Amino acid sequence: MQDKKMVKEITSRDADFAKWYTDIVKKAELAEYTSVKGCMVIRPYGYAIWENIQKILDAKFKETGHENVCMPMFIPEGLLQKEKDHVEGFAPEVAWVTYGGSEKLEERLCVRPTSETLFCDHYANIIHSYRDLPKLYNQWVSVVRWEKTTRPFLRTREFLWQEGHTIHATAEEAIAETEQMLNVYADFCENALAIPVVKGKKTESDKFAGAEATYAIEALMHDGKALQAGTSHYFGDGFARAFDIQFTGKDNKKQYPFQTSWGVTTRLIGAIIMTHGDDNGLVLPPAVAPIQAVIIPIAQHKPGVLEKAAELRDRLKNTVRVKLDDTDQSAGWKFSEYEMKGVPLRIEIGPKDIEAGQCVIAMRHSGEKVIVPLDELEAKVAEMLQKVHDGIFRIALDNRTKKTYNCGSIDEIISCRAEHGDGFILAPWCGDEACEDGVKEQTGVTSRCIPLDDPDCSDEKCVCCGKDAQHMVYWAIAY
Please report, for residues 177, 296, 418, the alpha-carbon distance to residue 326 in angstroms, rounded to integers and kept in the order given: 49, 7, 51
The CATH fold assigned to 17-276 is: BirA Bifunctional Protein; domain 2 (3.30.930)
Q: Is the pLDDT of residue 228 over 90?
A: yes
Closest CA to 229 of 186, 286, 280: 186
Longest dimension (CA), the chain: 82
In single-letter form, the type of residue at position 382 comes to A
pLDDT number for residue 7: 53
Q: How far, CA to CA in Å, does 16 sit from each of 34, 71, 188, 400?
A: 24, 41, 30, 20
Q: Where are the domains of the chain?
A: 17-276, 293-387, 404-476
| Residues 19 and 152 sit within 8 Å (Cβ to Cβ) | no
For residue 3, the model assigns a pLDDT of: 42
pLDDT band of residue 24 (cuts 50, 70, 90) is very high
User: Measured on CA atoms in the order 422, 424, 426, 429, is the torsion positive or negative?
Assistant: positive
Q: Are 270 and 153 in contact (CB under 8 A)?
A: yes
Nearest-angstrom CA–CA distance, 449 and 468: 19
- Interatomic CA distance for residues 40 and 394, integer angstroms: 32
Domain 404-476 matching CATH 3.30.930.10: the answer reads: no
What are the residues facing 428 on neighbouring strands? Answer: 472
Over the Cα atoms of the chain, what is R_g?
25
pLDDT tier for residue 5 given thresholds of 50, 70 and 90: very low
Q: Is 1 helix (H, G, I), strand (E, B) or coil?
A: coil
Topology given in CATH for the domain delimited by 293-387: Rossmann fold (3.40.50)
203 Rama class: left (phi>0) / alpha (psi -120 to 50) / beta: beta
E strands present in 374-462: 404-406, 424-429, 446-451
**pLDDT above 70 (res 178):** yes
Q: Are 130 and 147 in contact (CB under 8 A)?
A: no
Fold equal for 17-276 and 404-476: no
For Cα atoms 313, 317, 321, give the angle at the middle one, nearest 5 degrees: 105
Q: Are the CB atoms for 225 and 422 separated by under 8 Å?
A: yes
Across 337-363, average pLDDT: 98
- Mean residue pLDDT of the chain comes to 96
How far is C-alpha 448 from the geometric centre of its chain's CA atoms?
16
**pLDDT tens digits for range 195-226:** 999 999 999 999 999 999 999 999 999 999 99
Confidence (pTM): 0.95
pLDDT band, very low/low/confident/very high, at 1 (cuts 50, 70, 90)? very low
- Sign, CA dihedral 151-154-157-161, equals positive
